[in-house]
Amino acid sequence: MVNELAVYAANSNNTKGRVHQDDGAAYRNQYQRDRDRIIHSSAFRRLEYKTQVFVNHEGDMFRTRLTHSIEVAQIGRTIARALNVNEDLTEAICLAHDLGHTPFGHAGQDALNACMRDYGGFEHNLQSIRIVDQLEKRYASFPGLNLTFETREGILKHCSRINAQTLGELGARFINNERPGVEAQIANIADEIAYNNHDIDDGLRAGLLEIDDLRSCEIFSSHYDSVIKKWPDLSDSRLRHEIIRRMINFLVSDLITTSEEMINSVRPIDIDEVRKCGVTLIKMSDATDVMHKELKKYLRINLYQHERVQTMANRAKETVGLLFDAYMNNPSLLTNETQHNISRNKDSDDKNAVTRIIADYIAGMTDRFAFSEAERISGAV
């Protein structure tokens, strides 16, 4: 028996709809169709070879953007189901939330943003929207995946005011300081819960983090204590997994009960009231939020800024910079399709149109393709 959706949930029958006219499907609701379009997209498949923290070729055991996105979706669905909101929409947003990421994770994005400084910059969230709205080529009569407004609203997590002004209704909330629907709020926090926990797992596995050091974080140490009390002689691997699954369960449970309290105090009667109510409804308790932030800070200092991660980040930055300069100076290095795309846009009113095509091309690369392309280009000059 499926629970009835809460009144404040997104409802497939009342979607704000798609940009292009589109017939319905017999067996799937609008958000299930969005999810399926995302899974079938080429950008989604390429997440398999894009860095989360560790570059893909550093080992087969580490998270990639693809497995990260699946973990986010799984956490998001649990929360959505517990709160009686739209699980299909939550899943669609979670699976799509990182589609716009460049190769090499944040280092790649920072490098591409620096390259694009004089051409409108590069934001990975905005790139996710470009992919689903324009860059995927799967339909005869329109560009992109033609997703519903609610899925697109959830994908666009952050946006600068300048870029928001170009996005019409989708960008309006960044100008009016409104929130997205509950499902988008869930996807946002499910992302944080997923990466904080799986980055600990990957960091410990890689030997960049140590269990004893992590005990300086309250949330880690309290779950460490409860596991050790029950099983004092556990192997490192089992200890790690027992702690992490407890932390995820703790964070998700706290989030669900706190969000229920928030929803009960605001009592939104529909998704528009969620957007306009002026507060974030999906949140952890203050005490848990403090612990979660402490963990996040710990990871920033001890994992993301770790020498080994930084060495790879520097190589990534060099690679993206090299590719950008090479394509700008010599567009004949690009694929035929990209060169055609450039000639079609040469006389565009948008003075950055050609540079944006180059940025799209680089952003779409997997880690290994970017490395091999840089090697090919370096060998050619």
Instruction: Please report how close the Cβ of residue 362 comes to Mg ion at its closest, in angstroms.
Output: 20
HSE-up (13 A, CA, CB side) for residue 377? 23
Residue ranges in 129-168 that form contacts with Mg ion under rule CB under 5 A: none
Q: What would the x/- binding string for Mg ion be over residues 3 to 42, using CB under 5 A?
A: ----------------------------------------
Stretch of residues binding Mg ion (CB under 5 A), selected from 10-18, 94-102, 164-172, 214-222: 94-102
Q: Which is nearer to Mg ion, 48 or 273 (CB)?
A: 48
Options 29-37, 93-101, 164-172, 281-289: segment touching Mg ion (CB under 5 A)? 93-101
Q: Dihedral angle at the C-alpha atoms of 270, 276, 278, 282, nearest 10 degrees?
A: 40
Helices marked H in the chain? 30-40, 42-46, 65-82, 87-96, 105-115, 124-130, 149-155, 161-164, 172-176, 182-205, 211-214, 218-230, 236-266, 271-276, 286-299, 307-329, 336-345, 353-363, 367-380
Instruction: Point out which span in 90-98, 179-187, 255-263, 282-290 binds Mg ion (CB under 5 A).
Output: 90-98
Closest CB to Mg ion among residues 155, 374: 155
**Rounded least distance, CB 216 to Mg ion, Å:** 25
Residue 98 touching Mg ion (CB under 5 A): yes
- Specify the 3-state DSSP secondary structure of 25: coil
The interaxial angle of helices 218-230 and 236-266, nearest 10 deg, is 120
Report the Cα–Cα distance between both ends of the chain, in Å, rounded: 64
Name which of 91 and 373 has its Cβ closer to Mg ion.
91
Min CB(192)–Mg ion separation in Å: 8
Dist. CA 348–CA 159, nearest whole Å: 24
Please give the residues from 175 up to 234 whose contact with Mg ion meets the rule CB under 5 A.
191
Contact track, Mg ion, 40-79, x by CB under 5 A:
----------------------------------------
Contact 34/151 with Cβ under 8 angstroms?
Answer: yes
Work out how close the CB of 97 gets to Mg ion at its nearest, in angstroms, rounded to a whole number.
5
DSSP state, 104?
A: T
Asked if residue 123 binds Mg ion (CB under 5 A), the reply is no
Q: How far is CA 113 from the centre of its chain?
A: 17
Specify the residue, 50 or 356, whose C-beta has the smaller distance to Mg ion: 50
Amino acid at 55: V
Report the alpha-carbon distance of residue 381 to residue 244 in Å, rounded: 48
Compare residues 98 and 373 and give the one whose CB is closer to Mg ion: 98
Whole-number minimum distance, CB 68 to Mg ion, in Å?
6
Q: Residue 194 Cβ, how far from Mg ion at the closest point, in Å?
A: 7
Q: Which is nearer to Mg ion, 155 or 274 (CB)?
A: 155
Number of residues that bind Mg ion (CB under 5 A): 2
- Tokens 């050790």 map to which residue? 228
> What is the binding site for Mg ion (CB under 5 A)?
98, 191
